[in-house]
A and B are shown apart, each in its own frame.
Chain A
């Protein structure tokens, strides 16, 4: 029966054109690269033309979703009641994953070049499959891989991190060996690791030389000596991220190491006590975490991102802002993320500070009911040459019915340099309108003011996201803002843009 069907169909097919198979192989590979591995492999059964297309992947994306059948997805672990059953399920899952990847790689062995290797699966130190993982890395190094991305935590549950001793040890000997000493010619430009150990030996660090980007998350760097070995070889590194890394008490980036580094991100490294930067190329630093000692000798470092919080530990010191005029007097751009009650803290602490070169200030400020924006005036006084001010507001509940008044205003003064103001996340609350009017009046050189109802959210690492506009904006907010601000802007030369 089935054969009969097939035969009939074949006759019909000959009359129609097979458009897709006429596309060049490079495009067919491109199409398959956006499919899951399982689906891509299955296309080999389509026709003779498709038999080997899947064997030329540009990227190796090895994660549970891609490699495993639905029954083996990690979310199914909750079907099992006892610990024993769950552990059996996990073992089965790992077996299937390792075996499927090995089979897949043996099928794509002929591929000339792999652009990226991405592995997202929980592997630990010496656990089943960890030697296979090393072989997959060796395979991709052989295929001139440019990006390696290992995320060795459970995809859906980041909290079940095993203790440090069980972290997979990244095979520095495979990646780092010199070409000619049984190593590969390195093409690696980008290395992203999560949840493993990275501790290169002095003779195995050559392969890191081509890296331009290194992003480490929950990586155990073992000791300061190992970090030194690592950084000493990264002579082309431009972007370095160290997030929640272990065994990291001091970070020292000194000449002549990393002499191309432009961006550094240090976030929530719990053991960190000291950050020393003697570097002539670094431009941007993003720091998140508790108070540490900062020793900076980095003349080009002019951009700083940091969250400030009003929690008791930092309350009195306003860390790290209070330190900045001393350690980073040349700072030109500052991006601050403030928690709800920071406004009050800033009002009290800021008047004592001066940022003599600060030209661009962005403040991300969250509030529950209303934004108390009195601190904006204080912060402007600390930045005498500020040209651009951006306020990114996020107010969760908002009443637009309240009246705009001038009774509560901060003291008047004149800021001569301010040229541009952007306020995002505006919902139509009177405090937002009041501060906009205040800025229009106190900045005689102001050229442009933008009012945007879309809230901007800082995602970290220089990236921003957007939130949807609240409904009350189109109902009432927009009208209210227009009414008050147009009136004010008419009497000045400022270009007012209300989105």
Chain B
């Protein structure tokens, strides 16, 4: 007789209960803990209650991800190109997915979606970022962070100071004074 239970029962945030392949679901550390430590999920009556962040739509996305990566023998190239396509969804769903993956402690997916979100932010002005994510512009004006701040002394001063009369040889003491003033 086969001893392994191939399916596990999961309850999502809308209180609906569904059956999924245990092997796939075990990819999520949170579900894995519930099964191994608490013996949950073996029947509909003791379905594993997933965190609030996991809607049925997100669960199905996450299981797709796990299903792909669970298959052995895939090359790194295949995995990479799958991952790339996987996060090509609108930003709202991407945020939702990040949050759901985080609540299931699925670190590889959290990293993947976080990097995708970072790529969206990359190279954009604050205005553009606010537009994309609908962020409120609720900061008082003038809290602009200086991007580049160079030493007050002009470089020519510094050069002549360092080069000094010493024929270009660096003097440790002058440099130290420089650093601490």
Contact = CB atoms under 8 A, between A and B. Distances in A.
Are A and B physically bound partners? yes
A17 B170 CA distance: 58
A129 B162 CA distance: 13
Contact of B172 (A10, A91, A96, A126): A126
B126 interface: yes
B121 interface: yes
A213 B160 CA distance: 43
Contacts of A49: 135
Contacts of B147: 38, 41-42, 69
Contact of A95 (B95, B155, B175): B155
B178 to A, nearest CB: 7
A46 interface: yes
Given A20-B91, A39-B122, A99-B150, A47 B114 contact: no
A200 B138 CA distance: 52
Contact-residue bracket for chain A: 35 or more
Interface stretch (A26-34, A248-256, A355-363, A385-393): A26-34
Interface in A39-68: 39, 41-51, 68
A24 interface: yes
A51 B135 CA distance: 12
Contacts of B138: 47-48
Interface in B8-42: none
A19 B122 CA distance: 18
Interface residues of B, number: 46
A88 B155 contact: yes
Contacts of B4: none
Contacts of A402: none
A171 B143 CA distance: 37
Contact of B179 (A23, A50, A69, A132): A132
Contacts of A36: 122
Contacts, number: 138
Contacts of A79: none
B57 interface: no
B134 A99 contact: no
Contacts of A91: 155, 158-159, 162
Contact of B114 (A9, A22, A30, A69): A30
Interface string B92-122: 1001101100100000001100110110011
Contacts of B159: 87-88, 91
A14 interface: yes
A243 B78 CA distance: 34
Nearest to B172: A126
B82 interface: no
B137 interface: yes
A47 B127 CA distance: 11
Contact of B118 (A19, A34, A42, A103): A34
Contact of B137 (A27, A47, A100): A47
Contacts of B158: 91, 95
B148 A100 contact: yes
Nearest to B96: A19
A403 interface: no
B114 A18 contact: no
Contact of B91 (A19, A22, A38): A19
Contacts of B167: none
Given A18-B134, A128-B175, A46 B155 contact: no
B1 interface: no
8 contacts: A27-B114, A30-B114, A31-B115, A39-B121, A49-B135, A50-B135, A92-B155, A95-B155
Q: Which 4 pairs across A and B sit closest by C-beta, in order of nearness?
A: A19-B95, A16-B134, A34-B118, A20-B133
